[in-house]
Amino acid sequence: MKASNKLKILNDPIYGFITIPNSIIFDLIEHKYFQRLRRISQMGLSYLVYPGAHHTRFHHAIGCMHLMQKAVQVLRFKGVEISEDEEKALYIAILLHDIGHGPFSHAMEHSIVSGVSHEEISLLFMEALNIEFNDDLTLAIQIFKGDYHRTFMLQLISSQIDMDRADYLKRDSFYTGVSEGNINSERLITMLNVKDDQLVIEDKGIYSVEKFLVARRLMYWQVYLHKTSLVAEQLLIRVLKRAKELVAKGVYLEASKPLSFFLKNEITIDKFDADCLETFAKLDDYDIVAAMKNWQYHDDFVLKNLCEMIINRHLLKVKIKKKPISKDVLIAHKANLQSKYNITDADADYFVFTGQISNQAYSRKKQNINILHKNGKVEDIVKASDQLSLKALSKPVTKYYICYPKDQL
């Protein structure tokens, strides 16, 4: 049998040609666990606001791996020693960092399973793949968990200026058409260096970092926390909650086998065994959309209306305020809905609710973004920058919202 060429080239709308660096990366991309990411939307239901935002976790993971190749190249050029095994492990870890995302990415992170984050599920997938790939992922898993002695390697995967953020800001900005998020990831990576085993940015790159943080803040307000995306995601969470409630009462709901499994069972991290992981691997956006298309005709008032709202984009009204929403306002909207449709208080809670959102472009409590000066001194970006707005960007801004039906459901 002729061996297939595994050093293939992909064409990406953002970076142009992306090369698959070695055969294990090729085999991981070919694996059904990774191919599933083609069916997981990168930005949840944001396409209800930005029609172009239909890109997937698959696009993003490949983009991150491409940026990691650039980062390794830059650091080696600057004399940072990275062995071939470490290089391979970095590519594997960044490629698989999001493999544990469930349908619609963050929107349903705690709805399908109970209190299990996508990072924990990513790790379970990586451990399962490690068995299949004869322990070839061991070093990648060590780096991903933060157990490897070279700290900067984890920072390339997960920190405040990692390859993940460098890709998603640029990619999400491209697919939404929101130009404010278009960062210069190439320049940021060119400015990377390592000092005392910590990732640093050379002082020539200070303006690129400022732009990166401002872009992140704008993308959060304008895209990720956009009020329409927010209300759509809340409705999706409520669809799953209601479906689980009904199934627990013995009501039959038409759904795919993997979705039925998660509706019937309360899955926590200690119950996440190999069979459960295999079932989770069969679950994607399509299961949820197909279920909602059926459920919009269900007898249950709550489930029917929630699904119809998402399918036909007939969403709740949402108002965002700087101060917490008063209880009286909430009670008035609920009373109005209850008298109109003669529904219980608990049912009204599905359609009238409040919450809060918070945006912090840079957290000084987490690992700092450090600037390396020519004299060898390392300084936090907020101190090194002469831009006053960076101080403001490191303070969290909280806003409050209320959602309620427009004139009628």
> Looking at residue 2, what is its pLDDT?
46
> Looking at residue 262, what is its pLDDT?
95
pTM comes to 0.94
Edge-to-edge strand order for the sheet containing 370-372? 192-195, 198-202, 370-372, 378-380
Distances (CA, A) of 240 to 39, 233, 237, 311: 19, 11, 5, 14
Q: Where are the beta strands (DSSP E) in 163-286?
A: 192-195, 198-202
Q: Mean pLDDT in the chain?
A: 93
The SS3 call for residue 397 is: strand
Residue with tokens 């390592």: 194
Residue 258, both tokens:
């993997």
> Looking at residue 3, what is its pLDDT?
52
Gap between the Cα atoms of 111 and 398, Å rounded: 24
> Looking at residue 383, what is its pLDDT?
86
> Looking at residue 174, what is its pLDDT?
97
> Looking at residue 408, what is its pLDDT?
62
Residue 222, both tokens:
């304008």
The SS3 call for residue 81 is: coil
- 227, with CB counted inside 10 A (0-12, 13-18, 19+), is middle
CA atoms in the 13 A half-sphere facing the CB of 352: 24
| Residue type (1 letter), 286 | Y
Gap between the Cα atoms of 96 and 163, Å rounded: 13
Q: 358: alpha, beta or left, given left = phi > 0 and alpha = psi -120 to 50?
A: beta
**CB under 8 Å to 408, separation ≥6 — which residues?**
340
The SS3 call for residue 67 is: helix
For residue 304, report the phi and psi dihedrals to the nearest 5 degrees. Answer: -55, -50
Q: What is the DSSP string of 172-187?
A: HHHHHT-GGG---HHH
Helix (H) or strand (E) run with residue 122 in it: helix 118-132
Q: 79: alpha, beta or left, given left = phi > 0 and alpha = psi -120 to 50?
A: left
Q: Which residues is 201 bridged to in the sheet?
A: 192, 371
Distances (CA, A) of 287 to 31, 282, 298, 373: 20, 9, 17, 52
Residue 107, both tokens:
């929107």
Ranges under pLDDT 50 in the chain: 1-2
User: Please, what's the largest Cα pairwise distance for the chain?
Assistant: 73
Count H helices, E strands: the chain? 19, 9
